[in-house]
Structure 1
Amino acid sequence: MRLTPIGLCLLHTISPVVWAEQPYEDQPPSLQLESMIISSFVDDVERADGPVKGYRATRSASATRTDTALHETPQSVSVVPRAVFEDSGATRLQDGLDYAGGVGRANNFGGQGLTGFTIRGFNSGEFYRNGFPINRGYPNAPDAYNIERLEVLRGPAATLYGRSDPGGTFNVVSKQPQAEPQVSVGSQLNDQGMQRGTLDATGALDEEGKLTYRLNLLGEGGESFREHVESERYGVTPVLSWQLNDATRVTLEAEVLRNNHPLDRGLPHFPGQVGTPSRETNLWGKGSDNLLHNDNEMLQLRFEHWLNNDWTLAGGVQYLEGTLQGNAIEGNALQADGRTLGRNFNGRRLAWDDLDVQLNLTGRFDALGLEHTLLTGVEYEDYHYDLIIRRSAGGADAYAVDIFDPQLDQPRPALTRTPADDSETLESKAVFLQDQVDLSARLKALVGVRFEHYAQDFHNHLPGRTGWSTEDHATTPRAGLIYQLTDSLNLYANASRSYKPNHGASRQGGGFAPEQGKAYELGVKWQSLDQRLSVDAALYHIVKQNVLTVDPLDSTFKVATGEARSRGFDLNIAGNLTPEWKVIGGYAYVDAEVTKDSTVPDGTRLANVPRNSLSLLNLYEFQDGAAKGLGLGLGVKYVDERAGKTLPDAFEMQGYTVVDLLSHYQLSPQIRLNLDVKNLFDEEYEEGAFLNYAYPGAPRTAQLGIAYTF
């Protein structure tokens, strides 16, 4: 590893003594100007983009792009606050998704990132940060170090966000600057070899508190439970917020994230295989033979301008770019003995960039005796992607290893073929309109529609291949009603559509019609009269069409004629039951299957989708007595059996239950200690799958953390 020890040492040496010896005025100007944001609590009232007290949020802007009470939103929405990440010792965003209810893990691209998850039965690769798309190309798995709240939207979100999957998506709200100065230095390590250091600093840069900042730093590295799988990660997120006057606020936010990690395809599941290696076994090389460098940069410039007490103009621009390059080893085919796997050595370079511009106008007014909250917006996006992959020979005899006793010191084979060398651009322009109407004291409606035009260009640079260009339009409406049955119980219904462009080229050399989804949802929202606890439940039915499937005339190509259907039930809970007791989690039942395909029989289960899943995090923190400051928690995650691939003869991943034992102790107002035991009963399980690979979950792991705040 190249820089991890240096990065970790730098973070660990920013000790309380060093900080204490430097008054605020004496901080280096370069540090002061590198980050910041705005206070999100005004008179102790929760904002839709700000901190949450405990585990239960009351407001959100992700589902409507307006500051709306969750109890009055006609859609299933879960908010995972920062406290959940802190109490569970989470280091990645997907650790928080585990407690959102019904969100499953799928292909993580060999440990490189959060490239896919399942929600309501469908894979989804679209997600957002402060309302801007960030899953373009192959970004790093988002880290937990700068998350304020994670908001999961179930069902299509295309009306507000454009191209997306019909099962749902999520929006990350990043940490916002506070005017009150505060610095927190943290460190985590576990018995599998991980070491991690973080810094979170915020405060005002002027006497009036109009110019505020936040700076988050991350350094992580070390070994894992997988043999020869070491990694390193660095991140810096500076944010600067400027209240220009009483009506205008501008926020500049950036992030640089570096991740160096092997392409760890996990455990093989090839046809004819005589068994499965242990979860520690690595078949995919070590050192520079298997190491990818994933570099990502992001810049957001956001603004809000209050035209008057009722109308607000807001928007911004985001630019992001990234690369993924290096060497890797993957499987070809299994020999007849059922244990010798042919592999290929490969090198790849992926590069991408994306520009997204948004402008929204929000207003509240009365018309025809009804109260309206009107949102209008325009959006422009320009996305570019380049890919080249070179591989060594294929076949079961090439570069072979015994999957139960792999010898990883073989010389690299020559790169003899180029299976992929292409580039793609996607430019879209959209306008959307949404109206939230109070039809009566108890009945509210939400209607919206988005009109989007996109132009897509695909260039295949391989000899004898051609590219294509296409333009198309997409109209994605949605409508919802919510009715207040009692002071604590609301009933709602909604219907919505989604679209998402398909990628690649057909046998004829052209592109494909976009995927289209339609969804229907009926649910209830209950909250206790003291607003400490909320319980939401929903029934849904979703159909996705124009899914890519094998071309019946040539199996090396695809056609957009497939269809899949998902229906089910989900239940979600979040609450601060008492000042001591917090709880969050959910249950989901999902029936997801193929309903039309050229080669896969109808009724085939969709990959990575369990019929039943359950997660629940309980935490009790003593408020007085000798145990004051001690928090004890239990996290439980149950996942039913799942198909490894969407094929009738797919391998099956067994169901599992993982129990995490969590604890923290507030040693003083400044010092907090965490001691957690993840996977307490050492359950052996597989988190998700891709093609002929499955990703094993970690064994029992003890993790220690310390944070000093001043």
Structure 2
Amino acid sequence: MDLLDPVPRHLQCRRSRQKSFARGGSLSMIDRNTLLLLAGGLLLLCAAPTPAQQVAAVPLEVPRLDQIPTASTSAAHLAQQPAEPSQAQAPAQPDAEELDEVTVTGTGTYRRSRSSTATKTDTPILDTPQSIQVIPRQVIEDQGTVRLRDALRNVSGVYLQSTDGNIGEYFNIRGFSARSYTNAFLSSGTDSLLSLDTANIERVEVLKGPSSVLFGRAEPSGVVNYVTKRPLPAPYAAVAFTAGSYNFYRTTADLSGPLTSDGALAYRLNVAYEDANSFRGVQGRRVFFAPVLEWKIGPDTKLNFEIEHNRDNRVFDPGLFAVGTGVAPVPYSRLYADPRGLIFGYATRATAVLEHRFAENLTMRTGGRYANYLESFPLQFTPGELLADNRTLVLAYLEGNQFYENVAFQNDLVWRAQTGSVDHTVLFGLELSKFATGFAGTFGSANSIDIFQPPPYTYEFPPASERFPFMGNTTTSGFGVYLQDQISFSDNLKLVLGGRYDTVSAPFTDLLAGTVNPSEGQAFSPRVGLLYKPAANVSLFANFNQSFAPSFGRSATGTPFLPTRGTGYELGAKAELLGGRLFANLALYKIAKANVVTRDPANPGFSIQVGEQESQGIELDLTGEILPGWNLIASYAYTDAKISRDNTFPVGNRLPTAPLHGGSLWSAYRVSEGALAGWGVGAGVFAVGERFGDLDNSFSVPGYTRVDAALYYRRGWLNAAINFKNLLGTQYIEAATFRYAVHPGAPFTVQGTFEVRF
């Protein structure tokens, strides 16, 4: 039986990620005082009753959205988080990576030269033998980004896979599902359950291809890493307000500075409040805050403690659905789900990281993370099944709640050494994690409606005899150990060798049937990367990587499944152009995923491990500054992702979500002197080709081209912007998860931002 078989299909489409959560962490051997520092903050969050204690209860008593008190800031709440103060105010950081995080207000470049995501060490992107793209804060602000899907559309081969019914965000890279991480160090499945807020995001880094050596169990697509804002050494404050189409209001505040006279203790606090409707008539409200403390205990020791809390209440909206081989021929704004059917989500993440330098060439980084997510859906009516006449829609009824809880530890030791004329950067790491998830509720089939009849609709409860309970939980435990050596034979020849061993156990318990389905796996994942620089500003690279992900469920014979394995090959070139202001990355790749699990057609309710999927393509990314004040970010991807072996779906069928062609071009220019100093403009085009919505290729959604534009005024303490999104009013589909979850994109919208800095 598959992991989510006890759950109705319309809940499976929202929560299928329960199959692949639990990002690893590791427990390091450190002294008692340090361990207390790491654990102290986590215990503060654990003091209240855990979600595990609540899930077995009747669905939570929660108010409707119109019963929730509104914040005192009435009709105005803004979106675009400010850029950080100028580099003249920036902290004196020990390495270039941290310096690179600082955005220069009004003249910030899109170019970022370093990243730690690809190697977990501070390494120039030009010297990294793998494709990695960075979306800095300046792009997020210039494009008026509120949700991360709008930031990631700037990266080649990355597409929105699902909105999880208007609640979360899931992405697809090179044809396969991608996992999200925070600060490239600790992560959990809760990072995607409720869409992350952009208020405290400093930049987004995307690493392409299998990456299990550093990130453990994951799909062969790559990883999305969110890097959050750090405390500043000088006092800083900014308050912003955004208002937009469809009653969109958002307010944010960003405060930072030292807490002690010597600057040893500093803080950062980001806060956001959002109250918004949408073109589909669904309302949502969000409260977010993220405090950070940084304590420089000594010249060689630093402790960071960070909390993120997100309270999000909004209507569950699975979108439209497929009719025949395309999207239902109805207005894209039509809502079939009950507009009163709220999802109440509460996410909390607490992270403590200790960094210590034992010697000039030996450092340690030890971290612990606790995360939980509690979701309640007290009453929902959503699209269930379209009958053969292609106009009668049977509604589904659902109520219940679910929880996710994660504890993870990780320890990295970095040693820089020389053997003769050869330089080494050796990384040794341990990870330990435990992740629990559970759900409980009832579901059933409700009344039917005519899809061509405009709303309002009637929503009728099914009889008590036709309401069915579901209840289950999974606890995933994982351990990983990895070793990597970045070898520099000379300035122009570099080699990366790495390997990792993982073990994972993830039994699923059906609490109603009283059965336990075991799932265990272990794997060794290697990594080899070679880079040659024919010139100081050009590098040629090749790599081989493997990934590992546990397979959940069981076969009809009761035999546990093997882990899925991803194998990737990549060839590419990188170049710093225009004196280093513009960066280009060109890559050719091929990825194969084996041991794929699908439903068993001969034994309903069971699964089989049937075959393989593959993806190959070419990608190009350009990022940087053409001339002073003139920034550019552009991408193109050709993605040929398909089934290569299967006994259920036809070989050659394309993998869902991934179009053959996709690309983007965004450019912004700001005047730095003269009568027009402070003014700026931006414009961009985002294109996505036709995509299939399921493995059966039973339907597809058309490609689209979207045009955006912006007008800025940024000078001194004032930052103002007007963003015009989907300027031509293109009707398009953002993502298609399956036949009953087709997510339409918004029409033409206007968003205005006003920010003051102190």
Same-fold call, TM cutoff 0.5: yes
Contact 1:4 1:232 in 2 (8 A): no
Using the TM superposition, name which of 266-275 and 361-370 deviates more.
266-275
Secondary structure of 2:141's match? helix
Alignment correspondent of 2:486: 436
Contact 2:449 2:457 in 1 (8 A): no
User: One-letter code of the match for 1:646?
Assistant: L
Alignment correspondent of 2:165: 110
Alignment correspondent of 2:70: 5
Alignment correspondent of 2:742: 694
- Are 1:549 and 2:598 matched, yes or no? yes
User: One-letter code of the match for 1:81?
Assistant: P
Alignment correspondent of 2:151: 96
TM-aligned CA deviation for residue 402 of structure 1: 3.0
Q: Which has the higher contact order (CA 8 A, sep 6+)?
A: 2
Contact 1:277 1:404 in 2 (8 A): no
Mapping 1:265-280, distance limit 5 Å: 265-271=318-324, 275-280=328-333
TM-aligned CA deviation for residue 529 of structure 1: 5.8
Mapping 1:26-37, distance limit 5 Å: none
TM-aligned CA deviation for residue 576 of structure 1: 1.4
* Structure 2: tracts of 5 or more residues without a match: 1-64, 79-88
Secondary structure of 1:85's match? helix
Secondary structure of 1:467's match? strand
Alignment correspondent of 1:225: 279
Secondary structure of 1:503's match? coil
Q: CA separation in 2, counterparts of 1:495 and 1:62?
A: 17
TM-aligned CA deviation for residue 409 of structure 1: 3.6
Q: CA separation in 1, counterparts of 2:411 and 2:330?
A: 53
Alignment correspondent of 1:281: 334
- Are 1:241 and 2:280 matched, yes or no? no
Partner of residue 188 from structure 1, selected from 209, 219, 242: 242
Using the TM superposition, name which of 333-342 and 421-430 deviates more.
333-342
TM-aligned CA deviation for residue 474 of structure 1: 1.3
Mapping 1:394-405, distance limit 5 Å: 398-405=447-454
- Are 1:202 and 2:253 matched, yes or no? no
TM-aligned CA deviation for residue 510 of structure 1: 5.5
Q: CA separation in 1, counterparts of 2:290 and 2:303?
A: 17
Distance change in 2, residues 1:223/1:435 (3 Å): same
Secondary structure of 2:374's match? strand
CA displacement 1:568-617 (0-9 Å, x = unmatched): 00001101122210011211000000112221000001111100000121
TM-aligned CA deviation for residue 518 of structure 1: 0.4
Distance change in 2, residues 1:366/1:274 (3 Å): closer
Q: CA separation in 2, counterparts of 1:372 and 1:43?
A: 20
Secondary structure of 2:213's match? helix
- Are 1:376 and 2:419 matched, yes or no? no
Secondary structure of 1:233's match? strand
User: One-letter code of the match for 1:184?
Assistant: A
Distance change in 2, residues 1:325/1:43 (3 Å): closer
Mapping 1:28-177, distance limit 5 Å: 41-42=92-93, 45-47=96-98, 50-52=101-103, 53-114=108-169, 116-136=170-190, 139-177=193-231
- Are 1:620 and 2:676 matched, yes or no? no
Q: CA separation in 2, counterparts of 1:250 and 1:446?
A: 30
Q: CA separation in 2, counterparts of 1:150 and 1:407?
A: 41
Q: CA separation in 2, counterparts of 1:632 and 1:138?
A: 33
Contact 1:273 1:334 in 2 (8 A): no
Using the TM superposition, name which of 526-535 and 249-258 deviates more.
526-535
Distance change in 2, residues 1:272/1:619 (3 Å): closer
User: One-letter code of the match for 2:287?
Assistant: Y
- Are 1:572 and 2:621 matched, yes or no? yes
Distance change in 2, residues 1:454/1:337 (3 Å): closer
Contact 1:331 1:344 in 2 (8 A): yes
Q: CA separation in 1, counterparts of 2:223 and 2:143?
A: 22
Contact 1:619 1:633 in 2 (8 A): yes
Alignment correspondent of 1:672: 719
Spell out structure 1 runs of 4+ moving beyond 6 A. Answer: 10-13
Partner of residue 535 from structure 1, selected from 570, 584, 596: 584
Contact 1:39 1:177 in 2 (8 A): no
Partner of residue 376 from structure 2, selected from 312, 325, 329: 325
TM-aligned CA deviation for residue 258 of structure 1: 0.9
Contact 1:138 1:324 in 2 (8 A): no
TM-aligned CA deviation for residue 452 of structure 1: 1.1
Using the TM superposition, name which of 189-198 and 405-414 deviates more.
405-414
Contact 2:120 2:184 in 1 (8 A): no
Secondary structure of 2:336's match? coil
Give RMSD over aligned pairs: 2.1
Mapping 1:326-405, distance limit 5 Å: 326=377, 327-393=379-445, 398-405=447-454
User: One-letter code of the match for 1:696?
Assistant: P
Q: CA separation in 2, counterparts of 1:48 and 1:434?
A: 25
User: One-letter code of the match for 1:258?
Assistant: R
Q: How many residues are matched?
A: 676
Using the TM superposition, name which of 41-50 and 154-163 deviates more.
41-50
CA displacement 1:238-262 (0-9 Å, x = unmatched): 0000001100000000011011112
CA displacement 1:136-167 (0-9 Å, x = unmatched): 48621111111001000000111001011101
TM-aligned CA deviation for residue 472 of structure 1: 2.5
Distance change in 2, residues 1:467/1:555 (3 Å): same
Secondary structure of 1:266's match? coil
Contact 1:445 1:480 in 2 (8 A): yes
TM-aligned CA deviation for residue 403 of structure 1: 4.3
TM-aligned CA deviation for residue 332 of structure 1: 2.7
Secondary structure of 1:99's match? coil
Alignment correspondent of 1:610: 659
Using the TM superposition, name which of 413-422 and 615-624 deviates more.
413-422
Using the TM superposition, name which of 453-462 and 540-549 deviates more.
453-462
- Are 1:426 and 2:476 matched, yes or no? yes
Distance change in 2, residues 1:404/1:695 (3 Å): farther
Alignment correspondent of 1:23: none
Secondary structure of 1:371's match? strand
Q: CA separation in 2, counterparts of 1:274 and 1:383?
A: 37
TM-aligned CA deviation for residue 553 of structure 1: 1.7
Distance change in 2, residues 1:497/1:274 (3 Å): closer
Contact 1:150 1:173 in 2 (8 A): yes
Secondary structure of 1:62's match? coil
TM-aligned CA deviation for residue 126 of structure 1: 4.0
Q: CA separation in 1, counterparts of 2:707 and 2:74?
A: 32
Mapping 1:304-315, distance limit 5 Å: 304-315=355-366
Distance change in 2, residues 1:660/1:11 (3 Å): closer
TM-aligned CA deviation for residue 338 of structure 1: 1.9
- Are 1:562 and 2:611 matched, yes or no? yes
CA displacement 1:250-288 (0-9 Å, x = unmatched): 00000110111122011121448894211110000121x
User: One-letter code of the match for 2:176?
Assistant: F
Secondary structure of 1:400's match? strand
Secondary structure of 1:47's match? helix
Secondary structure of 2:541's match? strand
